């Protein structure tokens, strides 16, 4: 998968913007970051613990836990080996985790 496809998926979600985040690009819903772009072949997606464990255990070459100090905060997704449908699932989950409840309900996308 190419970064352009990942960008298309993220920006197709309701009220998503792409904005700078330090030296990275980030995808946000109402100002809250749910994914960042550190390079052309990688996406960092901020999903709940159970999804981080599930995906990193199932395919550790594609999905790797992101540590912030002693805490796991998301998944590093290697776009070159990620499947489109899988990335859609992760981005929807990350979006739903950060989007306000009223927007989730209005959009029909739940956690």
Contacts of 4 (CB under 8 A, 6+ apart): none
- What sign does the dihedral 20-25-27-33 (CA atoms) show? negative
Structural domain that includes position 34: 3-105
CATH number for position 26: 3.90.1150.30
- What is the DSSP-derived secondary structure letter of residue 79? T
pLDDT tops 70 at residue 6: yes
Total domains in the chain come to 1
The stretch 49-58 carries a mean pLDDT of: 93
Look at residue 110 and tell me if it is in a domain: no
Look at residue 7 and tell me if it is in a domain: yes
Q: What is the pLDDT of residue 108?
A: 82
Asked if 54 and 93 touch (Cβ cutoff 8 Å), the reply is no
The stretch 88-108 carries a mean pLDDT of: 93
Look at residue 111 and tell me if it is in a domain: no
Look at residue 30 and tell me if it is in a domain: yes
Look at residue 52 and tell me if it is in a domain: yes
Contacts of 83 (CB under 8 A, 6+ apart): 1
The stretch 13-32 carries a mean pLDDT of: 95
Q: What is the pLDDT of residue 107?
A: 85
């Amino acid at each position: 998968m190419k970064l352009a496809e990942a960008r298309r998926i993220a920006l197709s979600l309701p009220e998503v913007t792409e904005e700078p985040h330090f030296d990275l690009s980030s995808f946000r819903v109402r100002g809250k970051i749910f994914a960042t772009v550190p390079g052309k072949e990688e996406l960092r997606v901020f999903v709940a613990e159970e999804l981080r464990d599930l995906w990193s255990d199932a395919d550790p070459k594609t999905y790797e836990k992101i540590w912030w100090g002693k805490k796991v905060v998301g998944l590093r997704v290697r776009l070159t080996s990620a499947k489109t449908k899988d990335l859609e699932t992760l981005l929807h989950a990350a979006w739903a985790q950060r989007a306000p409840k009223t927007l989730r309900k209005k959009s029909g996308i739940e956690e």
